[in-house]
Amino acid sequence: MAGKEVAVLWLLAVLGWGSGGKVLVWPADNSHWLNMEYILQELVVRGHEVTVLLPSCFLILNSTQPSPFQFEVVDVPITKKEMATLLEEAFYFWFYQERALSVWASLYRIAQLVYKLENVTKIICDEVLKNEALLERLKASTFDVLLADPLAPSGELFAEKLGIPFVYTIRFSVGNTVERLCGMLPAPPSYVPATLSHLTDRMSFLERLKNIFSFTVQDIMYHYLVWGSWDQYYSDVVVWPTDASHWINVKVLLEELVLRGHEVTVLVPSSNLLIDYQDTSSPFTFEVLQVPFTQKTLHAAMEDFLNFWMNEVSNVSPWKIMWKMKEDLEVFTNMSKQVCDTLVMNPQLIAKLKQAKFDVLIADPLSAGGELVAEILAIPFVYSFRFSEGNVVERLCGGLPSPPSYVPASTRGLTDQMSFVERLQNFLFYFYMDLFFLKFWRDEWDGYYSNVLGRPTTLCETMGKAEIWLIRTYWDFEFPRPFLPNFEFVGGLHCQPAKPLPKVLWRYKGKKPETLGSNTRIYDWIPQNDLLGHPSTKAFITHGGTNGIYEAIYHGIPMVGIPMFADQHDNIAHMRAKGAAVELDFSTLKTQDLVDALNTVINNSTYKENALRLSKIHHDQPVKPLDRAVFWIEFVMRHKGAKHLRPAAHHLTWYQYHCLDVLAFLFTCTAIGVFILAKCCLFCCRRCGRIAKRKKE
Ligand SMILES: *[C@@H]1O[C@H](CO)[C@@H](O)[C@H](O)[C@H]1NC(C)=O
Ligand SMILES: *[C@@H]1O[C@H](CO)[C@@H](O)[C@H](O)[C@H]1NC(C)=O
Ligand SMILES: *[C@@H]1O[C@H](CO)[C@@H](O)[C@H](O)[C@H]1NC(C)=O
Ligand SMILES: *[C@@H]1O[C@H](CO)[C@@H](O)[C@H](O)[C@H]1NC(C)=O
Ligand SMILES: *[C@@H]1O[C@H](CO)[C@@H](O)[C@H](O)[C@H]1NC(C)=O
């Protein structure tokens, strides 16, 4: 029976893979089509039906020739010949004139060409929208998605009219204006060159000036020349509206690396919370670092930390909290330093590790030291990371762009929809955290790192050398935000399908009773993942740790969150914003609150629906998070790094990064200009006055 079910399911999965999808395409002419065609052919291979809306003037396509696509030809009052002439004119300009002309002449010419192309697009668009029969037919076909090239507008307009989602494929727009202003792609002019400016990511002061100039001129051009005429058009037409937990995660990754035939050596402090280095069945080799502090000291420090955040934090002032945070940081930093010392001051161990010729080092920047060891051994390193307080490490050391207007600083429990006061709070928190950590690192670590490496450096600079940052969240959980090519979001890599559970579970840490029933299983630790994956699980009461939340997302279980410290407030805020959780305040919690919250997430189906939606997003990824994480680690091993993904932002000073030097220069120029103008006017006025006076006399 079970075998049959599996076979049927499998068949469904195979058939269900591609059947039934209907894709509408609004193509761009010429080479743009060639690229799109590859995507469309693959979609057809996977069993989707592809319909191309084809203006009769397009050159590249002939609808009467055999093709795997269906065509809806739109007759337009433009001939293929007129289209060819226009494109030829454009090519002639790019091939022969563009580099010979001055900047202004070139821009003027581009504007002319863009204007002509827009005119043609508008004519084509008119024809489609006038054609009610065609629109009715398209609407009746219930397409699932529209694919368009934003080189020329209108694809998105049809998608809106038909009430279907749309996907863009684009190479670039002039000055990246479309990507930046419409797609919100952050493009700091200090190191992201404007398209067509012929600049690279390493720019001198003059080149950065030129780059800002290109961006500005092209933005203005788009706004006035192109969009100005379309805005009205669009508004008119759219009428049919339509160590601890960190180790658990890293361990899964390391086990996968071992499965793929790599040798994994773990540098483990002799006192730690979760890593059992005496376990002979472990697939890893352990190199034990004999630290001077005991297991008891570590547990006491941890207990003190947890006790404050769980029981005391609600009764003390914000100042006390900040003070306590600093104290805790100092305690853990002191321990980290002692761990580092055991390695740094042990030349035999360093020699032994060097001899082993490791390909890559994997570290979590939450506790410093990993990057230092990688530098000493001269090998590339990869980070596995959840977050730092206020995202300082990711932002300041990794260069991750985080506009405070919509990227909430971690640990404040904010979402991406912030009121003015919240944005103020967010901005100030970023600022405060920057100052706090830059000072803390300078006092505690920068000297240490410089000493060990024998050259002046900082902790942050060393951390910035990470080849890849494997962030332990994903877009099911995270709010959309800008990121860099060397950041991979691999949240949930530890989740697995649930194993079946026995009828009775018992958490019990002792000798197994002899009279134990066969349907009862005893666990040191209840297998949370299997429990959440059980078909009768209705809700998950959680403190909001990332690992647990991901297991709930994986299995689509709504949550009641009782966050306590670290990222837990954030995690629950994310789940609440996405409609999959109810949040409770631990300090004021009453029994009835918990009962009510549980009833809410169980009785009100929206929570379950949202949790299932997140689950579907999580499962529908081109490559599974664990495979992506392993791929990037292996990539770094094969290529001895991933320097091609490293943004040039790391080479800029803060004022260059924000273009403050360029702005200061422009401001000075303007000020001098205004000053000279004012002087001239004054001079003229005086002269005129004098002449007039003389005439009177
Ligand atoms: C399209 O292809 C057909 C057959 O190959 C040909 O007869 C026709 O002239 C072509 N039409 C255009 C406009 O190129
Ligand atoms: C734009 O198209 C109109 C016809 O719709 C035509 O009269 C006009 O000359 C065209 N403008 C340019 C710049 O090609
Ligand atoms: C850590 O703290 C102890 C006392 O609490 C102190 O003696 C020791 O010097 C500190 N170690 C470092 C590396 O700061
Ligand atoms: C919610 O469901 C529980 C049983 O799960 C039931 O006892 C309770 O009355 C329901 N509450 C509401 C408000 O429907
Ligand atoms: C269910 O919860 C959602 C979100 O909190 C709320 O908008 C909706 O009114 C609730 N539905 C019922 C029947 O209580």
Token pair listed for 468? 């890849």
- For 90, other C-beta atoms within 10 Å of its C-beta total 17
In a domain, 384, yes or no: yes
Mean pLDDT of 626-639: 88
At 8, is the pLDDT very low, low, confident or very high (cuts 50, 70, 90)? very low
Asked if pLDDT for residue 582 goes beyond 90, the answer is: yes
Token pair listed for 582? 């109810």
* Domain termination site, one of 143, 171, 199: 171
Mean pLDDT of 581-607: 93
Token pair listed for 32? 């743009």
**Contact between 371 and 463 (Cβ < 8 Å):** yes
- C-alpha distances out from residue 6 to 18, 19, 532, Å: 19, 20, 22
**Contact between 113 and 89 (Cβ < 8 Å):** yes
Per-residue pLDDT tens over the stretch 150-208: 777 778 888 888 888 888 877 777 667 778 777 778 888 888 888 767 788 888 999 89
Please name which ligand lies nearest the alpha carbon of 598: 4
Cα 337 to middle of ligand 3, angstroms: 9
Please name which ligand lies nearest the alpha carbon of 115: 2
In a domain, 177, yes or no: no
Residue nearest to atom 14 of ligand 1 (CA): 62
Residue nearest to atom 8 of ligand 3 (CA): 334
Q: What local confidence, expressed as pLDDT, does residue 30 receive?
A: 66
Sign of CA dihedral 156, 158, 162, 164: negative
Q: Which one-letter DSSP state was computed for residue 312?
A: I
Q: Which residue has the tokens 């260069």?
A: 399
CA distance 22 to 41: 13
Residue 453 sits in the same domain as residue 527: no
Mean pLDDT of 37-45: 83
Residue 306 sits in the same domain as residue 440: yes
Cα 63 to middle of ligand 1, angstroms: 8
Asked if pLDDT for residue 584 goes beyond 80, the answer is: yes
Residue nearest to atom 12 of ligand 3 (CA): 334
Residue 362 sits in the same domain as residue 419: yes
Residue 443 sits in the same domain as residue 546: no
**Contact between 53 and 72 (Cβ < 8 Å):** yes
At 3, is the pLDDT very low, low, confident or very high (cuts 50, 70, 90)? very low
Token pair listed for 531? 């429990």
Q: Which helix (H) or strand (E) holds 491?
A: none
Q: What string of DSSP letters covers 148-193?
A: E-TTSTTHHHHHHHHT--EEE--S--GGGHIIIIIT-----TTTSP
Token pair listed for 662? 């360029």
Asked if pLDDT for residue 608 goes beyond 50, the answer is: yes
Looking at every residue in the chain, the average pLDDT score rounds to 83
Q: What local confidence, expressed as pLDDT, does residue 1 receive?
A: 34
- For 459, other C-beta atoms within 10 Å of its C-beta total 26
Residue nearest to atom 9 of ligand 4 (CA): 599
Q: What string of DSSP letters covers 587-626?
A: GG--HHHHHHHHHHHHHSHHHHHHHHHHHHHHH--SS-HH
**Contact between 647 and 201 (Cβ < 8 Å):** yes
At 242, is the pLDDT very low, low, confident or very high (cuts 50, 70, 90)? very low
Cα 567 to middle of ligand 1, angstroms: 63
Higher pLDDT, 150 or 592: 592
**Contact between 377 and 353 (Cβ < 8 Å):** yes
Beta strand extents in 171-305 (DSSP E only): 265-269, 285-289
Contacts of 334 (CB under 8 A, 6+ apart): none
In a domain, 408, yes or no: yes
Per-residue pLDDT tens over the stretch 432-488: 989 998 998 899 889 998 998 999 999 999 999 999 999 989 999 999 999 999 999
Asked if pLDDT for residue 325 goes beyond 90, the answer is: no
Residue 604 sits in the same domain as residue 660: no
CB of 64 shorter than 6 A to ligand 1: yes
Residues in the chain: 697
Per-residue pLDDT tens over the stretch 337-353: 898 898 888 999 999 88
- For residue 42, give the CATH number of its domain: 3.40.50
Residue 409 sits in the same domain as residue 262: yes
Q: What local confidence, expressed as pLDDT, does residue 484 receive?
A: 93
**Contact between 433 and 460 (Cβ < 8 Å):** no
Residue 388 sits in the same domain as residue 260: yes
Residue nearest to atom 3 of ligand 3 (CA): 334
- C-alpha distances out from residue 250 to 245, 246, 274, 571, 674, Å: 9, 6, 12, 19, 60
- Give the ligand 3 atom nearest the CA of 337: 13
Residue 326 sits in the same domain as residue 438: yes
At 124, is the pLDDT very low, low, confident or very high (cuts 50, 70, 90)? confident
Please name which ligand lies nearest the alpha carbon of 120: 2
Residue nearest to atom 14 of ligand 5 (CA): 604
In a domain, 212, yes or no: no
Q: What local confidence, expressed as pLDDT, does residue 267 receive?
A: 87
CA distance 500 to 515: 23
Residue 585 sits in the same domain as residue 469: no
In a domain, 413, yes or no: yes
Determine the residue of 54, 62, 73, 76 to mutate for testing ligand 1's pocket, defined as the one with the most ligand atoms within 8 A of the Cβ atom: 62
Asked if pLDDT for residue 588 goes beyond 90, the answer is: no
Asked if pLDDT for residue 17 goes beyond 50, the answer is: no
- Give the ligand 5 atom nearest the CA of 607: 2
What percent of the chain is modeled with pLDDT above 70?
Answer: 91
Residue 49 sits in the same domain as residue 148: yes
Domain, as residue range, for 593: 504-623
102-116, 282-296, 605-619, range with the lowest pLDDT: 102-116
- C-alpha distances out from residue 254 to 245, 250, 317, 494, 544, Å: 15, 6, 42, 11, 24
- Give the ligand 2 atom nearest the CA of 115: 13
- For 527, other C-beta atoms within 10 Å of its C-beta total 14
Residue 279 sits in the same domain as residue 382: yes
Q: What local confidence, expressed as pLDDT, does residue 224 receive?
A: 67
In a domain, 179, yes or no: no
Residue 485 sits in the same domain as residue 509: no
- For residue 578, give the CATH number of its domain: 3.40.50.2000
Cα 81 to middle of ligand 1, angstroms: 14
Q: What string of DSSP letters covers 25-78?
A: EE--STHHHHHHHHHHHHHHHTT-EEEEEEETT-SS--TTS--SSEEEEE--SS
In a domain, 221, yes or no: no
Q: What local confidence, expressed as pLDDT, does residue 634 receive?
A: 85
In a domain, 243, yes or no: yes
At 677, is the pLDDT very low, low, confident or very high (cuts 50, 70, 90)? very high
**Contact between 625 and 493 (Cβ < 8 Å):** yes
Q: What local confidence, expressed as pLDDT, does residue 504 receive?
A: 67
Count of structural domains within the chain: 4
Asked if pLDDT for residue 644 goes beyond 90, the answer is: yes
At 399, is the pLDDT very low, low, confident or very high (cuts 50, 70, 90)? very high
Mean pLDDT of 55-60: 81
Per-residue pLDDT tens over the stretch 542-579: 988 888 899 999 999 999 999 887 788 889 999 999 99
Beta bridge partners of 387: none
